[in-house]
Structure 1
């Protein structure tokens, strides 16, 4: 039955692309620029979140950020972004399991207009698009307008400096060939079926249900700069959080989901985390790791890797993590007649709650208020500095 459905789908797919009607639609759509939406899931990304946000703001019309239990200030930072930039929305997802597929699918289908022409991208914070301007990005998308889904291969970059965590002024080693792993972007208005879901890792779009599905063909497009490994501390945190999040899914964990994190964790437990091991893991990231796991930078150069400095679009400057210390990130409301100079801070938190038994989600808004004289003093100091 599955084979029959797949063959039927492929046949319909070929007829679709041979249709002159679709070609005309594509040419008409090219006459106007389509809106772009970015959906990103975040967890403890303080080291790279500022530059990623600056990159995203320079390219996308709408940005939806979902924090997954961050404890390093990332959650407070995206709240600052939400307050400062009208095209940014932030939500909190406090389910301990790593339900990325369910979350991305729900956000896509419930927060984005499925009929309005436009693109939806799913980028992690360590992924950057190879465009130097929004105009260049939009031109490329207009060339791909007739394709409902596009596929973007990873270029897993190996940092030459594994201590600083720098991104913009950093030099990397670029592989001679892209990874076999891809991310997808798609146009909801060009997906005829309303029954679809985004795969775990945002690597594919499937039509149907999780028990009976067909992978939607994707057109090869441009690569993504992928920086999965930057410093020892970042790598340890990434892997430990990933392993624990998948463990917390229990029986909901399907197949080999997250197995690459388990494998990296086992290798790290059995070995000393050297620069050579980090380079070797970065070079094979995403797939099954094959020994020898350690690779020197010279060995990678001999294998065809070449030095690269990313030339990407970004706005300068975005809000800073330092702003969190001054109490920004809350809506400040002065209370009349308060002789102590205190103010009431009001925070609106939008949470996406997940029902495991029903595999359903909903948005719940929480508003909290409290008094804070220190917060007022910090805001006053900030205002004096600004003026």
Structure 2
């Protein structure tokens, strides 16, 4: 049985090496789509590739919100180039945690191969971990440093069966669901197989994330805004824009805003071993690099729009479809 992972990544230099090494324990190949990282993420992925990890990296420097298209593209690349039986749809801050699964994730998926009816989607819960004052700041492996979590959330991510028809499959943004255009898709929930989720690792990382996230929605036009895409970024974006002191001079926000007494101390099992290309990061400077990179891309594309105004909408759509294989 062959398993492949697909991941869309953007400015995750603090976690990308640990994530890639950990995921490699569970999968035979990993396909990445970089959306224009400027914080060292590509350099780390390049080093991992040169070391021999089985990864492929594409790049699309998209300034609008096109996550679903990128995910579907990667799934179809995985089918054509690797013919997997299953595809994990993961973000770079999500670590497979199969401690509660009898015989592990691989054995579970193998059992599903011969089951009836034919399962095509496995839904697994996200378990949110949060940085706290108890963390060791010198520990660079995020899932080793951050050990306190909430109970499993009601948000799910998906593992997709391989071989779903290329022209038929659509993966929704966030990898929370997929569907077929021609017929219903058969799914099952496994509440024992978790994704340990480290979405907020520092205040500056979180600021860069919601500023960039909502900017991409705005850059996509009012139709995307009206659909409330990534709407959880909207309020913090507005608050930072209108009253930045409420965030930047707030000791709780700039400290450990999610640290509450009922967090569960339960480290996820990290399987990736030591890191070779990651070091302690100045998160404030990394946030600046991340946002300056996005601003550069956004401004550059806006200039192109001005230059080519008569064909603006068609041209932007063409740019978003231009995907180059890096290695």
User: Quick check: TM above 0.5?
Assistant: yes
Q: Secondary structure of 1:138's match?
A: helix
CA distance in 2, matches of 1:52, 1:167: 9
Is the contact between residue 144 and residue 270 of structure 2 (CA under 8 Å) also seen in structure 1?
no
**Structure 2 residue corresponding to 1:123, chosen from 90, 93, 117:** 90
Which secondary structure state, in structure 2, belongs to the residue aligned with residue 297 of structure 1? coil
1:98 aligned residue = 65
1:141 aligns with 2:115: no
Is contact 1:152–1:182 with CA below 8 Å preserved after alignment?
yes
Q: CA deviation at 1:58?
A: 1.9
Q: TM-score, with normalisation over the residues of structure 2?
A: 0.73
Q: CA RMSD in A?
A: 3.3
Distance in 1 (CA, whole Å) between partners of 2:54 and 2:326 is 21
Q: Name the CA shift for 1:173/1:363 in 2 (closer, same or farther; >3 Å).
A: closer
**Match for residue 247 of structure 2?**
272
Work out the CA distance in 2 between the residues paired with 1:244 and 1:275. 26
Deviation by residue 1:93-120 (Cα, 9 ceiling, x = unmatched): 1121121101111121234239945111
Who is 1:112 aligned against?
79
Give the alignment of 1:326-345 within 5 angstroms: none
Return closer, same or farther for 1:356/1:249 CA change in 2, 3 Å cut-off. same
Higher relative contact order (CA 8 A, sep 6+): 2
Given candidates 24, 28, 32, the residue that maps to 1:57 is: 24
Q: Find out whether 1:152 has 2:163 as its counterpart.
A: no
Superposed displacement of residue 171, structure 1: 4.5
- Pick from 197, 200, 207 the counterpart of residue 180 of structure 2: 207
Aligned equivalent of 1:312:
270
CA, structure 1 residues 77+114, in 2 after alignment: closer, same or farther (shift >3 Å)? closer
Instruction: Give unmatched runs, 5+ long, in structure 1.
Output: 1-33, 281-293, 323-353, 368-387
Deviations 1:324-350 (A, max 9, x none): xxxxxxxxxxxxxxxxxxxxxxxxxxx
Aligned mates of 1:196, 1:308 — CA distance in 2: 36
CA contact (8 A) 1:276 1:296 kept: no
Name the CA shift for 1:115/1:83 in 2 (closer, same or farther; >3 Å).
closer
Contact 1:65 / 1:88 at 8 angstroms: preserved in 2? yes
2:161 aligned partner: 187
The answer as to whether partners of 2:132 and 2:258 remain within 8 angstroms in 1 is: no
* Cα distance between partner residues in 1 of 2:258 and 2:323: 46
Is 1:361 aligned to residue 321 of structure 2?
A: yes
Deviation at 1:160, TM superposition (A): 2.0
CA–CA separation in structure 1 for the residues paired with 2:55 and 2:71: 16
User: 1:163, 1:230 within 8 Å by CA — same for their partners in 2?
Assistant: no
